Amino acid sequence: MKHIYKIFIAIALITGLWSCENEENLMILEPQEAAFSIITPDTGSSIILNKATPSNTALTLTWEKVNYGTPTIVTYTIQFAASNTEFAAPLDISFSTTTHGTMTVAELNAKALELGLEPDAEGTIDVRIKSTVGTTGSEPKFSEPITIIVTPYKGVFPKIDLYLVGPGTAAGWSVTSNNMPIYRDTKDNTKHYYTGYFNKDGFKLIEQIGFWAPAYGTNGDKVMYRATENDTDPGVFPTTAAGYYTFEINLEDLTYKIAPYTGPMTTYATITLTGSVLTGDDAGWNMDVPLVQSTFDAHIWKVTQTLKTGKMKFKANNSWDVSWGDDGGDILVDAGKYDIWFNDLDGRYMFIPTP
pLDDT tens sequence across 36-60: 999 999 999 999 999 889 889 999 9
Strand duo 255-260 + 243-250: pairing? antiparallel
Determine the pLDDT at residue 94: 82
Query: Quick one: average pLDDT of 172-200?
Result: 96
Which residue blocks in the chain are alpha helix, DSSP H? Answer: 2-25, 105-114
Confidence of residue 133 (pLDDT cuts 50, 70, 90): confident
Strand pairing partners for 292? 302
- C-beta separation of 236 from 247 below 8 A: no
Strand pairing partners for 331? 312
- Range in 65-74, 156-165, 280-289, 332-341 with the lowest mean pLDDT: 65-74
Report the CATH fold assignment for 271-353.
Immunoglobulin-like (2.60.40)
Determine the pLDDT at residue 5: 42
- Residue among 160, 258, 255 nearest 203 (CA): 258
Report the CATH fold assignment for 38-151.
Immunoglobulin-like (2.60.40)
User: Is the four-CA dihedral 232, 238, 241, 245 of positive or negative sign?
Assistant: negative
Is 163-260 a domain of CATH 3.40.190.100? no
Question: Is there a common fold for 163-260 and 271-353?
Answer: yes
Determine the pLDDT at residue 85: 93
* pLDDT above 90 coverage of the chain, percent: 72
In the predicted structure, residue 3 carries a pLDDT above the cut 80: no
- C-beta separation of 215 from 204 below 8 A: yes
Domain chopping of the chain, boundaries: 38-151, 163-260, 271-353
- Range in 108-112, 317-321, 325-329 with the lowest mean pLDDT: 325-329
Q: Which pTM value belongs to this model?
A: 0.63
Alpha carbons 32 and 101: distance in angstroms, whole number: 22
Determine the pLDDT at residue 156: 66
Q: Which of 80-94, 261-275, 324-338 is modeled with the greatest confidence?
A: 261-275
Check residues 157 and 299 and name the one with the higher pLDDT. Answer: 299
Q: How high is the mean pLDDT of the chain?
A: 88
In the predicted structure, residue 18 carries a pLDDT above the cut 60: no
Determine the pLDDT at residue 4: 44
Alpha carbons 29 and 334: distance in angstroms, whole number: 63
Alpha carbons 296 and 259: distance in angstroms, whole number: 19
Confidence of residue 14 (pLDDT cuts 50, 70, 90): very low
Strand pairing partners for 346? none
Alpha carbons 135 and 74: distance in angstroms, whole number: 10
- C-beta separation of 255 from 222 below 8 A: yes
Confidence of residue 275 (pLDDT cuts 50, 70, 90): very high
- Residue among 54, 44, 155 nearest 107 (CA): 54
In the predicted structure, residue 273 carries a pLDDT above the cut 90: yes
